[in-house]
Structure 1
Amino acid sequence: MLLIAECKARFEFLFYRLNQSTQCPFCSESGICDVKPDKGHERELRRMEISCPRCNENFSGRFPELIIHLDKHRDLPCPNCAEKFVFPQELDSHQYNTCEHRVVECPLSFLGCDKKVPHKYIDKHHLNNWHQRYLLNFVHAILSPSSLNKILSTDSKNTEQTFEQTLREYLEKINPLIEDADQSMRNCSQLSSKRQDIETKINGIRTQSVAIKESSENNVKLMESIYQIIANMTEILNKMKSQPIGGPRLLDIDGTYIWKVKLSDLTSSQQTLQSEVFLTSKSGYKLVLQCEIYENKSTSTSYISVAVAILRGDYDAILSWPMLYPITLTIVDLSGKRSDISYPIHMDPYMLPLQRPMNDSNPPCKVEQFYPLEKITKNNSYYVQNNAMFIRAHLDFVGGSLDSISNGEQQKLPNYDSARNKIAS
């Protein structure tokens, strides 16, 4: 780097270092010159046209561009650490002076410690037993009586000179050892400080890990709670969807209720389908229809099974029990030929399904073999259109109870299974 002196003369930085205690070589002023970096020199370098010293004619440009270009020539690797350099001089200086992996001799090689180790491990070598043993031998040799007698046995006039010379030789050998020992102590101190810093960081990481673990467990519990809340809300929403917005539906003015059943839902789910809840009047009986597939094991025939059940209502206390108003269940003919399939429910005043409900629902009054499933599902069926059939329930409030209907007109139902056919309100 060039420096500019107070006298405006430029000269090399190294020359300034060698002569800073003398007079200025340009203006002959005594003392140390007031110098500062030469910014003009830097600007001149940036404008200077220069060729690449490695590839010559292959590059010609300004100095900043050369610095970038030289990175392409960084192809001289150090055999010890594989770091790459541009010029052989750089590589040589690195190998012999700065490379941490260069092999160096022990400072006590003159005493027999002939170990050669990489420079980065020399401090560790100074602390091992092998090196320490030679160091002790060296100290003992200096302080041994034989060494002193050897010095004192010379001529008296040369004794002082010989003794001084011997001490100088020993001091020249001891000083590097002291410097190495000091450096080793500093390294040990730095390693100890770094160890404490690392232990502090590890303890901090452990504390954070415990906090993260606790936070994760709390998050898992929170997610489980949220999942349970969502499940409960979904269940409530499904129940709300299954009920009409304006409350239970009322029978039509002619005493009928019609339920649309998707045939695919009935055949694919193999479960009991249930209609919406309906009332005979605003303060009347609360009813629901059921539909499912019934398998007759003796004949291996599948049937459509239709049932009606009485649910516990808000006005049961003012109604007449048992409920004996005639009920007729019908699968509606959709062809217009009025070939409906109808069954009247057998009304026995002693039947449990007709009594006042003590639970959410009474057992259903069921016609298990209402109509063969095969006839319902065949092509061009009168009873299915667009994957839907319609089941109608008719309650006769005008004719009174079924006591006026002959027994021959009433079809008795098979025994019902109250546990299997429980209906939720």
Structure 2
Amino acid sequence: RMNETFSKCNSIDEPFDVSDKRSCPLGIYDCRDIQINKNSLLEHYLSEQHQRSLVRRTQQFIESTNDDSTKTNIDNDKENTSIQSIYEKLSIVTQNIETTYDTLDQLSSDVHRCNNQNCILASELKDMKDAYTLGNAHISASSLNQSVLKHDMIDLKEQINIENERMHDEYNGMMVWKITDIHEKRTDAQSERKTSVYSYPFYTSKCGYKLCLRLYLNGDGAARDTHLSLFLVILRGEYDALLEWPFSYRVSFCLCDQRTMIETNGTTEPKHIIESFRPDPNS
């Protein structure tokens, strides 16, 4: 308050030289340009001018303190606002992180489910590949079997044709014997695994003698290792009771010259080997 006076100032107790003059500590206010010695210092402190300066300085200090407090409050408000803003942002970030974690959990579940599905699909694909491989093997085997059956059918047709020809010829007293695998049969004869082979039976007539041929490819007896030996074998037949015995009809053997017939295509007379004889009743 302006009417109050102060009898003391903190700076009064400060020592100074009596002979020195100095400015009032409140010289920046109303006590400007005043030089005071020690004898007049108390008088100056009690003067209206000094009291006015002291009051003004006190008011400025209070105002400055209020301004600082206001500024501090403003700064605190700003800081609180900033903290609130940061908290809100952190809350949003936390929510986003939680959402991200939920999304990651969902993605992890999806990945796990996809892995299981991939394992199932891989197993099914393997089964399909195995089935495809097995199917191809069956197809290959079927193709091979079909090829074998085709060859067997061809062989069977040939055998049927031969059998038909044989059935046609077996009752006329003639027999054409085509010997297959001659080299293997000759080897078997030389090694004595199988010394002879037989032809199929044939007849001299519808109710005639039943005959067959027996061939020794490595020879028999004195002809062994040097000649072929061919025998006519008389078999037990259905009409033996009606026939004349012993068998005494002329027999002719013919070794066909197939090479000449094949190489010349029939243009050159083949050199067949023909031998005729009457069987020995006592043999």
User: Do Structure 1 and Structure 2 share a fold, with TM-score over 0.5?
Assistant: no
Q: Which has the larger radius of gyration?
A: 2
> What is the TM-score normalised by the length of structure 2?
0.44
Query: Which structure shows the higher strand fraction?
Result: 1
> What is the TM-score normalised by the length of structure 1?
0.32
- Larger relative contact order (Cα-Cα within 8 Å, sequence gap ≥ 6): 1
